[in-house]
Amino acid sequence: MVIAFVLFWILVAVAVFFAAMHGGARGARASLHRESRTGNRLILLGVVVLFAFGIAVPAVVLASNSSHKAAVASGGVHLTAREIKGRELFARSCAVCHTLQAVRSVGRTGPNLDVRVGEQISTPAGRTALVESAIAEGRARGLGQMPALLYQGKEAKDVAEFVAAVAGH
């Protein structure tokens, strides 16, 4: 499919090149006055076809990329609806300070969660508990201080589940 698409555009480019080079400017002016009605219609048809391809190709590309990919995180981890919400919340408040590959954050103040949560704690329940604890209590280690209760209730749980799911992947 891709090869056929590329080959088609190469053929169009070659045809345009030879049409442009046929007789130079003088030949183009002379042939303009000699062309038949059929020739003019073919040229118009060619322009319309090229215009249609110019609209259709980007539309096909956009349509093929339109599948909902929000549920896919780095490392091929598939996220639940709560984890997707947690990713949004994490990106809003936590990504400034913390490093986490899943949201492409490179914070310098807080710990690298890929290492701290992802590699040092082996169970998902333990990871979730650590993150929930940090959100509820805050932390005063390292270069700064994480305030307590950045998120509460369901939002805190969503962020904790997201971090537990993706840390270290």
Q: Is 167 helix (H, G, I), strand (E, B) or coil?
A: coil
Specify the pTM.
0.58
pLDDT tens per residue, range 34-85: 667 787 788 788 888 888 888 888 888 777 765 566 666 666 678 888 988 9
Please determine, for residue 33, whether its predicted confidence score (pLDDT) is greater than 90. no
Residue in the block written with tokens 């994480």? 146
The pLDDT of residue 59 is: 82
Identify the bridge partners of residue 149 per DSSP, sorted by sequence position: none
pLDDT tens per residue, range 104-127: 888 888 888 888 887 778 888 888
Nearest to 161 by CA among 74, 80, 67, 68: 80
The pLDDT of residue 63 is: 75
The pLDDT of residue 61 is: 79
User: Mean pLDDT over all residues of the chain?
Assistant: 81
The pLDDT of residue 48 is: 87
Q: Is 47 helix (H, G, I), strand (E, B) or coil?
A: helix
Confidence of residue 156 (pLDDT cuts 50, 70, 90): very high
pLDDT tens per residue, range 124-151: 888 889 889 889 888 876 556 888 888 9
The pLDDT of residue 142 is: 54
CA distance 82 to 167: 16
Q: Which runs of consecutive H residues, i.e. helices, occur in 65-153? A: 81-93, 113, 124-137
CB distance 167 to 117 below 8 Å: yes
